[in-house]
Structure 1
Amino acid sequence: MDIKKRKKPHVTFRLNILFFVIFLLFSVLILRLGLVQIVYGEDFKREIERTEDITVNNPVPRGKMFDRNGKIIVDNTPLNAITYTKFQDSSQEEMLETAERLAQLIDKDISKIRERDKQDFWILKNPEKAKEKITEKEWDLYDQDELDDKEIYNLQLKRIDEKDLASLTTQDLETLAIFREFNSGYALTQQIVKNENVTPEEFAVVSENLEDLPGVDTTTDWERYYAFGNTLKTVLGNVTSSDEGLPKDKLEEYLAKDYNRNDRVGKSYIELQYEDVLHGQKGKVKNITDKAGKILSTEVVSEGQRGKDLVLTIDMNLQLEIEKIIEEELWKAKQNPKSALLDRAFVVLMDPHTGEVLTMAGKQIAKNSETNKTEMRDFALGNITTSYEVGSVVKGATILTGYNTGAIKPGSMHYDSPLLIKGTDTKSSWKNFGSINDLRALQISSNVYMWKTVIEMANGNYSPNKSLPLDLSAFDTIRQSFSQFGLGVKTGIDLPNEGTGYIGPIKQSGLLLDLVIGQYDTYTVMQLAQYISTIANGGYRVQPHIVKEIREPVLESNELGPVFKEITPTILNRIDFKDEWIDRVQQGFRMVMQVGDGTGVSTFKGAEYDPAGKTGTAQAPYDGPERKKFKESPEVMNLSLISYAPFENPEVAMAVLVPWAYQGNSGPGTANVIGKRVLDTYFNLQKQEQSAETNQNAESTDTQQNNQ
């Protein structure tokens, strides 16, 4: 008991010390909190209230475009640029003062200034004179709230005369042009003031005087550079300028995607189709501002990344060679007096198994409105946007439709002689061929065989010099069948605004006969390429595409980065025909190009690459740019050619179209000539590439052996 009594006072003392220390600490904490809240509280509150974080997106250069072999097609050229960023607290007077200073340092184009811009500027520059434009009575009405600010301003605008505007000097107008750029942007959004023809001297002097030019900065901008000039230009597409900004019809869509209103975006074709990947990831900058909008500090959140690069399926070496061929043959054919209306030609080359578009070439002869001289223009876009009656190239689809409906079967015979139908002109092939089967009908392009096939299909009964009623539901049967090959429907190519051609609205027996020989509905060249590819590959309709890969961007100017996405082949459908039927048409197409009196033999005889295909001629009404010169549309001949090679293992499919090639019953065979030269060029380039690759491999092997 004594021991316990001795320990207890000792423990109590230590607890008292601990409680005292805790008391002191709490006292210090309470004192500190009181100091913060009572003494400095208002200061901290004002500091919090006066700052605000605003994140701004800065645009980055667009992605580049390369051809399938890594050659640069579309690049970005750096430009010196002078920009302006409007602060939230920037007044019109302060902005005008900055514009006046900047106008003394740079030259600014004044051609875009409008009359209204001058009027607004005159009022801003001459506030006292502007007030004098309003009568005392009107000011009294204003004081009585019977006229508002807007009405007063409109009165001032109406009363500004030519003498007032003439008082604006050239320096004033340059200031106005700059001031106009200042006001075209939104607060804390960088706006281009000048990025064209900025001289090194202008760039340097502005950089040196930035402290006296609030909101102004010097930076590097960019513009699109096309390495091959106008080649494929219509397909590559265009980008809006900083003046244009976002297209009005897609404004809300782009704003929802965090675009700025003055951002440059793709506005047509590849640039538009692949905007999401070409645009890149914007840099983000956080501006710390006070409540008045004055920037207190700036912090880079992310540097951003320029747009991803596109590798196209196009082979530019091949594209250039084919464009040269088209130009030469167009100019040559144009010399023929029968070819006065000829002004364009098209070629598409495609891998029939993958849908990769190797070449998409089109040329048009047109008059330059400024120089009044005739020139050759790029019209590659016409391969998907324009359509024509294509003639006999559709006969392969007609034969297959005949098989499928039971109208004919492989080996069916018909007698090719003129059809005499009551009330119509005599209908015949280009020659009377007598008794022929389906293969022979393709070989020599018999119209009569196709007509008799569709007569069977439409439950008709032909008798010479009698009327020929047909079941017009055959229109739907034929068009549905043709669509399986891509004729009359969109091919699905990765470009906007693809046309589908013209579907004739009238259904008559005579027009049904025209339909099966390609002289009623119209088709695009890309549709023809998809059609022949479907036959070449054994019946699979493959979606054509012009972008092969999407690549990550790299800093090196002309190098390809890692693959972000590879565009794989897409099979749209398998045509609903037996394999032996497709083989039969393939054999007929081979006979066209290589056997006897086939319609393509005179052109392709002896070709080492073993071609197959079909020629076509369509008599059609002219509907080109010169049609206004005629009271009635003259009849012209459209020439077409579809082909693939080699026959046994096709690696390339081709479609050629020469609209309005000539007038009359005969003329230059431009489509066949172009087609032969194109396939010759393709296989010659293939040989050269294979030879170069072999030599490169041999050199590599020799180097390795020498090193060993």
Structure 2
Amino acid sequence: MVQKKKKKKSQLPFRLNILFFIVFLLFSVLILQLGVVQILNGEEFQAEIDKTENDYTEIPVPRGKMYDRNHNLIVDNNPLYSITYTPAKGIQAKDRLNVAEKLATYISMDPHEDKDGNRDYGVSTRNKKEYWYLNNTEEARSRLTDKEIEEMDNAEEYNTMLDRIKEEEIKGYSEKQLEIMAIKKEMDKAMTLTPQVIKNENVTPKEFARVAEHLDVLPGVNATTDWDREKPYGKTFSNFIGTITSQSQGILAEKEEYYLTRGYSRNDRVGRSGLEEQYENILRGRKEKIQYTTNKSGKVVESEVVVEGQRGKDLILTIDMELQEELNKILRKELKTAIQKAPAKNKYLEDALAVVMNPQTGELLAVAGQHYNRDDNEFENAGLKSLYAGHPPGSAVKGATVLSGYESGVIEPGQRFYDAPIKIAGTPEKSSYSNLQWVNDLDALRQSSNVYMFYIAMRMGGDFNYQRNDKLKFDPAAFQEMRNYFSQFGLGVKTGVDFPYESTGYKGPNPQAGNLLDFAIGQYDTYTTLQLAQYVSTIANDGYRVQPHFMKEIRMPVPHEDELGSVYQSKNTNFLNKIVMDDNYIERVQEGFRQVYQEPGGTAAGNFADKDYRAAGKTGTAEYTIFHENGSSTDTENHSLVGYAPYDNPEVAFAVVVPHAGIPNAHPTSKLIGEQILDTYFDLQEEETEEE
């Protein structure tokens, strides 16, 4: 019997067992690690996974304040309640509508009225259609065919749906629904993580408290504080201070690119006029910068302040608000007196303008203008006209004419001419206000001889042998030559004032001999009151023309509201040019100006000869014609006055212009204004000295 062999049991090789064991250990370690990650660090790692992006937003800060030269506060920030909305990422129109509906239960919007007197809350037809669409989305989509949907992009599809909403479907909305639309309209302006003001005017304490109490059900909404500019001096100097935009307006559309490239947001408040605009970069401050970390759904999971906010730097102006207030009173008083004294003659008299400055530094101490509104029988602030309204100044510019004659070599100091009417062939006679007979250069300034200036103009034009009733030899280049001399004083050119706009006046277009004669006595080109102030300051300052300026200092902001910070920057005197003339010529004209104010026969001596402050300057009267729409015309005059004091060490200079005064002069308005300007200035200086 044959025995069968038993099969041996198969056994795994020893090395293979070791391999399985190692694999088992590796899986065990992996499972253990997954457990650690899931159980111990799962929440932390999940949050890290959710953190997908960092975003930044900037919070506006209050603007810097403005003070006058004596540190009197003239522009402050007035806190206001404000309701804002800051959308998170991924927020849809329907989400904003839901928030708007809730917010409308806590605040009321400005009702606003349409042209028919109906309350429309500033809501447009498109706003109404968008509101209807969000509440009837399926109905709106059903009005599109499949083919239209296939051929249109999203924007075209949306606009087509709005277009197909019928007018009758958006009529009859209640005031509450209109308020909801008004709120959503403001919310729609918001950019991601950037606060947008929903309401910051007339937010009541009750509204503020309600919103603050329900922020948990108003995602993105916040009850915070905004600010508005407050001017303790009211309308005094307000035109020069200027205005700022509201947050609902944001940056100026015409300068959008300029502001956006400088770190502004579209809803930032900016200076839109005056010194608010001129010094925007100083007053704006440094916005607070916040970093937001958001997850994939756009929810903010963390925030951190990365740049501390700082309100704008403070601006110290050169203006003396006490002098400014007094100057406005002086202009109103003398303007009113002139009109009441001779209403028939002064029926076109409406304005009085004045500039007061330090001739050695260019600091503007007071700049004012008053306009009389005859319809309302009220005065209005017209200070800006001192910078942009040009008027023929008359004889006030004769100092520049005499200096032009000296430097061009057509006259010498002390030279005499016989003052009698000038008659050029084919033109009317030209004369002084009376026949002054023989006059030299000082006499011509003191007594305001027109004829003396005519001789200078004729000689500069090439005619040294004037004969009555003859034609003049005339080189038209003389016009530009004399204008070049005048420009050295700031006449006909920009003064360089630190303000967004100033006029250079009007230059007459016809360079003819007769017009040059008129130019020489200030009755052809026009100049602003500020240009005249710079002109007389240049003469007072020994021929150095300084740049007029409103800014004296810039100060760092401090947390204590009643204190001023350290000086960040001071405005130094900026010499624009030195008159290219012999110093003796300047001194000669200075003496002539002194005689105008202090010597018998001087055209302003009656107002200034007995004053302790020893003033100097020049009067001016320019005759011209006003042409009316009905074809009629009226002859009138501009009255001007320039001056400075003390004569031997000038610390104050001024210019006054009173356009459209009556003929003959019924009231010496400009002289009385100039006299009171200097009286007031030195009285205030004396008071300050006594206080010290």
Displacement of 1:331 in angstroms is: 1.4
Q: 1:238 Cα deviation (Å)?
A: 0.9
- 2:140 is aligned to 130
Partner of 2:183: 178
Q: Which residue of structure 1 aligns with residue 335 of structure 2?
A: 330
Number of the residue aligned with 2:373: 366
Structure 1: which amino acid aligns with 2:56? T
Partner of 2:17: none
Change (3 A) 1:573 1:118: same
The code of the aligned residue for 2:373 comes to A
Query: What does 1:28-427 correspond to in 2, within 5 Å?
Result: 35=33, 44=45, 47-48=48-49, 50-111=51-112, 112-131=122-141, 134=143, 138-143=144-149, 145-147=150-152, 149-335=154-340, 336=342, 337-366=344-373, 373-427=376-430
Residue by residue over 1:675-696, the C-alpha shift from the partner in whole angstroms, topping out at 9 and shown as x without a partner, is 1111111111111111122xxx
Q: How far apart, CA to CA, are the structure 1 residues paired with 2:93 and 2:163?
A: 22
3-state SS, counterpart of residue 222 of structure 1: strand
| Distance in structure 2 (CA, Å) of the matches to 1:430 and 1:648 | 30
Counterpart residue number, 1:4: none
> Could you give the per-residue CA deviations for residues 102-154 of structure 1, whole angstroms, max 9, x where no partner exists?
0001111142222222222222223244346x2xxx514325x2455544544
Measure, in 2, the Cα distance between the counterparts of 1:549 and 1:680.
27
Q: CA deviation at 1:560?
A: 1.3
| Partner AA of 1:657 in structure 2 | V
Aligned residues of 1:72 and 1:558 also touching (Cα < 8 A): no
Distance 1:152 1:444, change over 3 A: same
TM-score scaled by structure 2? 0.90
Looking at structure 1, the residues matched to 583 and 399 of structure 2 have their Cα atoms a distance apart, in angstroms, of 14
User: Structure 1 residues 251, 147: CA separation in 2 closer, same or farther (over 3 Å shift)?
Assistant: closer
CA–CA separation in structure 2 for the residues paired with 1:469 and 1:632: 35
Deviation at 1:31, TM superposition (A): 7.0
| Cα distance in 1 for residues equivalent to 2:588 and 2:78 | 54
Unaligned runs of 5+ in 1: 1-26, 694-708
Aligned residue runs from structure 1 range 477-492, under 5 A: 477-492=481-496
| Aligned-pair CA distance for 1:69 | 0.4
Match of 2:68, as an amino acid? D
Deviation at 1:159, TM superposition (A): 4.2
Q: Offset of 1:268 from its aligned partner?
A: 1.1
Cα drift, residue 72 of structure 1: 0.5
Partner of 2:6: none
Counterpart position of 2:467 = 463
Q: Identify the structure with the greater helix proportion.
A: 1
Q: Secondary structure at the match of 2:305?
A: strand
Deviations 1:589-616 (A, max 9, x none): 0111111111111222311211100000
Aligned residues: CA RMSD: 2.3
SS of residue paired to 2:365: strand
Aligned to 1:439: 442
DSSP 3-state at the match of 1:585: helix
Secondary structure (helix, strand or coil) at the match of 2:180 reads helix
Q: 2:461 touches 2:513 (CA, 8 Å); kept in 1?
A: no
The 8 Å contact of residues 446 and 592 in structure 2, kept in 1 or not, is answered as: yes
What letter matches 1:274 in structure 2?
Answer: Y
Can you list the C-alpha shifts for 1:1-21, whole angstroms capped at 9, x where unaligned? Answer: xxxxxxxxxxxxxxxxxxxxx
Distance 1:533 1:61 in 2: 38
State whether residues 288 and 298 of structure 1, in contact with CA within 8 Å, keep that contact through their aligned partners in structure 2.
yes
Tell me what 1:688 maps to. 687
Is contact 2:51-2:293 (8 Å) kept?
A: no
Across the two proteins, how many residue pairs are aligned to each other?
Answer: 652
The amino acid across from 1:88 in the alignment is: K
Q: Is the 8 A contact 1:65 1:73 kept in 2?
A: yes
**Identity value in percent:** 47
Paired letter, 2:468: P
2:353, 2:383 within 8 Å by CA — same for their partners in 1?
yes
Deviation at 1:629, TM superposition (A): 4.5
Cα distance change, pair 37–464 in 1 and its aligned pair in 2 (3 A): farther
* 2:594 counterpart of 1:590: yes
Alignment CA distance shift 1:427-1:358 (3 Å) = same
Q: Is the aligned partner of 1:653 residue 2:653?
A: yes
More deviation, 249-258/196-205: 249-258
> 2: CA distance between counterparts of 1:418 and 1:34?
117
The within-5 A match list for 1:618-637 is 618-622=622-626, 629-637=629-637
Letter in 1 for 2:646: P
**What are the residue-to-residue correspondences of 1:486-525 with 2, within 5 Å?**
486-525=490-529
Give the counterpart letter for 1:139 in structure 2.
T
- After superposition, give the CA deviation of every residue in 1:271-321 in whole Å (9 maximum; x if it has no partner): 111111100011111111113322112112233100000000000000000
Contact map agreement 1:540 1:573 (CA 8 A) in 2: yes
CA distance in 2, matches of 1:242, 1:498: 28
- Secondary structure, counterpart of 2:581 in structure 1: coil
Contact 1:421 / 1:464 at 8 angstroms: preserved in 2? yes
- Assess if the C-alpha contact under 8 Å between 1:349 and 1:359 holds in 2: yes
- Alignment partners' CA distance in 2, 1:655 and 1:411: 27
In structure 1, the partner of 2:18 is none
After superposition, the Cα gap between the structure-2 partners of 1:479 and 1:36, relative to the gap in structure 1 and judged at 3 Å, is farther
Question: What is the SS of the residue equivalent to 1:300?
Answer: strand
Q: Distance in 2 between matches of 1:35 and 1:586?
A: 97
Post-superposition offset of 1:155: 4.2
Counterpart Cα distance in 2 of 1:35 and 1:504: 92
Q: Is the 8 A contact 1:238 1:266 kept in 2?
A: yes
Give me the whole-angstrom Cα distance separating, in 1, the residues matched to 2:66 and 2:290: 28
Q: Matched residue of 2:188: which SS?
A: helix
Greater shift after overlay, 535-544 or 601-610? 601-610
1:189 alignment partner AA = T
**2: CA distance between counterparts of 1:52 and 1:33?**
31
Contact 1:99 1:179 in 2 (8 A): yes
Retained in 2: the 8 A contact 1:142–1:148? no
Q: SS in structure 1 opposite 2:108?
A: coil
SS at match of 1:561: coil
- SS in structure 1 opposite 2:438? strand
Cα separation, partners in 2 of 1:396 and 1:198, compared to 1, 3 Å: same
Structure 2, gaps ≥5 residues long? 1-24, 113-121
Residues 494/213 of structure 1: CA separation in 2 closer, same or farther (3 Å cut) = same
Q: Contact (CA 8 Å) 1:110, 1:177: kept in 2 or not?
A: no
Equivalent residues of 1:59, 1:283 under 8 A apart: yes
With over 3 angstroms needed to count, the CA separation of the structure-2 counterparts of 1:165 and 1:373, relative to structure 1, is farther
Separation in structure 2 between the aligned mates of residue 572 and residue 540 of structure 1, nearest angstrom: 8
Over 3 Å counting, the alpha-carbon distance change for 1:218 and 1:39 in structure 2 is closer
